[in-house]
Structure 1
Amino acid sequence: MSTVTGTGTGTDASAPAPLLSARGLRVAFPGRRGGAAARAVDGVDLDIGAGEIVALVGESGCGKTTLARSLLGLVRPSGGEVSFAGTPLAYAGKALKAYRKRAQLVLQDPSGSLNPRHTVYDAVAEGLRIHGYPGDERAAVCEALSRAGLRPPERFLLRYPHELSGGQRQRVVIAGALVLEPELIVADEPVASLDASVRGEILALLLRLRDELGLSALVVTHDLGLAWNIADRVAVMYLGRIVETGPVESVLTDPRHPYTQALLSVLPESGGEPVVLGGEPPDPARVPPGCRFHVRCQVLAGGRAGEVADRCRTEDLPVLGGAGERAAACHWAGREAVGG
């Protein structure tokens, strides 16, 4: 009997093909002094549909950023496959360059990603110059700045990053991605370095870009509150693998995996006692047997796992499907779902 809980019945043949798709994705980094390789991404299936915003959530060090970079072709996977618009991602120079025009990265720290010696115009135009844009460069830069909420754009063209607020710098970074008219953006902690008053504005901007341009987005974050405010679907990641996934409302109002429950418990609006997880996440070079969360699991530690406790410690769980059906990779959640 499967130990993955879910309400989905498999892939709908009538559903449109995803814009981005990863299957069995693995990324391993060599170990120190010939030791075991670190399994940063350890078997991930993930789809992102056209016009869909997916939040990838988890603690620092769980593999979120490595997964995001591998989806963009910035990190070559050691196993599995990434496809974009139905075509497997190729790693040859020209093919990869063409792909990066269609899928753009927005980094978390605008101060670090903007060259302090470049004006706003040069920062936004850089992508156009790399890809040999044949049209009116100034018009394209102004259009991108305007879409990113910097209006009138002419006011900002000759400014330098230090002359801008944090929110304005993040809008410049977003404009630099938009100028190439991508179909997908991957935003890595896009508001983590911003004041609370500005975070809502940037999230509203990303939603507006989705509505106006049909833009798809993968938003990488440790903040489940952010996922609630922006995402259509959420994928919760722990130690290199997605452990719970589904529509954002169903996952965040009724979390099944103990890890998701722990992450949600620390939000002010949760109303319950925060769950304090013991210890640190295990070393990805030494992934524990069985459920990879079992060494920190509050359900197992509290004696509530019952007859599945031994399975939690010894029996691995399958990779969750990437299409976003409601599912959790958890022996205990599977038992609860069938009334065990």
Structure 2
Amino acid sequence: MPAAPLLSAAGLNVTFPGRRGAPPARAVDGVDLDIGPGEIVALVGESGCGKTTLARTLLGLVPPTGGGVSFAGEPLGYASRTLKAYRKRVQLVLQDPSGSLNPRHTVYDAVAEGLRIHGYRGDEREAVAEALSRAGLRPPERFFLRYPHELSGGQRQRVVIAGALVLKPELIVADEPVASLDASVRGEILALLLSLRDELGLSALVVTHDLGLAWNIADRVAVMYLGRIVETGPVEDVLTNPQHPYTQALLSVLPESDGPPVILTGEPPDPSRIPTGCRFHARCQVLASGEAERAGVAERCRSEALPVLMGGASTQVACHWVGAG
């Protein structure tokens, strides 16, 4: 039997009021997603697809307008005391270490901040040293009195990770954790996240636009488009045999891709004006090429909505054309 999910979203919706009389924006529009103990899930998609809003909702930073989040089998409550306890168990790692570190705080104070917020009663110095060491900053005491501007980009990101680890969370949400780093440092940070999973049993949701990163770090991938997950499954299955035309297009532009790149036309639609039918149909290369017409599903692509994918580990795809094959 598979282990019960550590974090689970069911029927999750997040809607923001429209500006100047515009319809509400459905940033997250029906998402089921599970993250198991010790599992790394990559949430992948273009900018504006809703993945950061989904991550913030899973963290309790944005309350859902529909559906709910549960952690360790318990529904997430939004009372301040409940959220404070939850955020000790689920920590955020942001993409820009320079922006998330106070330039006037030493490394020691940056890492100790979470302990102080949560009223830690143990040996603070020992806890900070252990977190820095786990994040790869050794010997940790050498970094205590340094300031962010005295560190390299990779070292700053390790300090941010140490600040999350110091509370001994069960899950971290990493939003584009290596996007601002040099290519030479990215591999080190990804290797660190993998080692933390192996050593601590830590679960992670990694939010990224980079399918290459997903391939290197994730056990499972969820591809998001316009507020919905459109394909999900074990990373090897999805990235070696992508089914959804959107996933195929994202993979086609990677340097190691075999065929010609698929150039998607236009921008993702406005989330306040989600199209009927498959929400990808206006940009879909399969529909544009006539393949969907030949398969007899073109009209369904334009008019028939697809169901929300289940949140579990099985490979699933939301596409009329794939279903007709």
- Report TM bin, short chain: over 0.9
Partner SS, residue 191 of structure 1: coil
1:1-340 alignment, distance < 5 Å: 14-306=1-293, 307-336=296-325
For 2:116 and 2:25, the matched residues in 1 are separated by 37
Structure 2 SS opposite 1:67: helix
TM-score normalised according to structure 2 size: 0.99
- The CA distance in 1 between the partners of 2:3 and 2:195, in whole Å, is 23
Separation (CA, whole Å) in 2 of partners of 1:171 and 1:73:
24
What's the offset of the Cα at 1:272? 1.1
What SS does the corresponding residue of 2:8 show, helix, strand or coil?
Answer: strand
The one-letter code sitting in structure 2 at the alignment partner of 1:253 is T
**Aligned-pair distance for 1:35?**
1.9
Deviation by residue 1:169-199 (Cα, 9 ceiling, x = unmatched): 0000000000000000000000000000000
Q: What do residues 62-99 of structure 1 show as CA deviations (whole Å, max 9, x unaligned)?
A: 00000000000000110001000000000001011000
Q: Alpha-carbon deviation of 1:16?
A: 1.7
Give distance in 2, aligned partners of 1:188 and 1:162: 22
Could you tell me how far apart the structure 2 residues matched to 1:281 and 1:167 are? 32
What amino acid is aligned across from residue 81 of structure 2 in structure 1? Answer: K
Q: By how many angstroms is 1:15 displaced?
A: 2.2
Deviations 1:128-157 (A, max 9, x none): 000000000010000000000000001100
* Deviation by residue 1:218-276 (Cα, 9 ceiling, x = unmatched): 00000000000000000000000000000000000000000000000000101210000
- Residue type of the partner of 2:241? D
Counterpart Cα distance in 2 of 1:63 and 1:35: 18
Q: What is the SS of the residue equivalent to 1:17?
A: coil
Shift of 1:33: 1.6
Write the letter of the residue equivalent to 2:51: K
Counterpart CA distance in 2 for 1:32 and 1:131 is 38
CA RMSD of aligned residues (A): 0.5
1:297-318 CA-partner distances (Å, limit 9, x unpaired): 0000111102100000000000
Instruction: Determine the C-alpha separation between the residues in 1 that align with 2:310 and 2:115.
Output: 37
In the alignment, residue 313 of structure 2 is paired with which amino acid?
A: G
Structure 1 distance, partners of 2:225, 2:2, is: 28
What secondary structure is seen at the aligned counterpart in 1 of 2:41? strand
**Secondary structure of the equivalent of 1:60?**
coil
284-293 vs 29-38, greater mean Cα deviation = 29-38
Partners of 1:333 and 1:187 lie apart in 2 by 31
Q: Secondary structure at the match of 1:32?
A: coil
User: Residue in 2 aligned with 1:3?
Assistant: none
Identity of aligned residues (%): 83
Give the partner amino acid of 1:310: E
**1:9 maps to which residue?**
none
Runs of 4+ that moved beyond 6 A: none
Unaligned runs of 5+ in 1: 1-13
**Higher relative CO (CA 8 A, sep ≥ 6), structure 1 or 2?**
1
SS of 1:51's partner is coil
Instruction: Give distance in 1, aligned partners of 2:102 and 2:264.
Output: 40
